[in-house]
Amino acid sequence: MYALKVQINDQAPVIGGAEDLGVLNAIVSCVGMLGSAAVAHRDGETEDFFVTLAGLTSRSIGLTDEHLYWLSQVPIKPGDRILVELIETETADAIARGDISENQQVSEREYFEHCKQVYLEMRSKYEPEA
């Protein structure tokens, strides 16, 4: 299987992967006022820096898919070194957390009703009154 090996500084690497994955990602996130021209949108807003190693299963019909996490928003700081390597392996580290994936498929009728409701709510904003 394919897996991602993530190492933060000199810590032991974490290998994320599973035989039933359809998505696998390693994300370095920097959130907040990151530059001198950035504007705070909330009082007390600070910067957050973190790493996530996660995936989404792609299981057979009838089986529940899950969002899997090996690293979940692990804090980092400026100067930290994050190494991400795509590898092929037969084993990966234990999953730290799994969340059931919500099925996003809706029927055509449900989608129509949703669009109709949004249209009726926003109609007065975009259509002149007769």
Residue 59 pLDDT: 85
| pLDDT category of residue 130 using cuts at 50, 70 and 90 | low
Quote the pTM value: 0.73
Average pLDDT, the chain: 89
Which residues lie below 8 Å from residue 20, measured CB to CB, with a gap of 6+? 57, 58, 59
Among 3-7, 107-111, 123-127, the least confident range:
107-111
For residues 42, 43, 44 and 46, what is the CA-based torsion angle, rounded to 10 degrees? 20
Q: Distances from the Cα of 112 to the Cαs of 72, 102, 104, 124, in angstroms?
A: 36, 20, 15, 20
Q: Which two tokens stand for residue 9?
A: 């500084």
Q: What is the pLDDT of residues 11-60, one digit of tens each?
A: 999 999 999 999 999 999 999 888 888 888 888 778 899 999 999 999 88
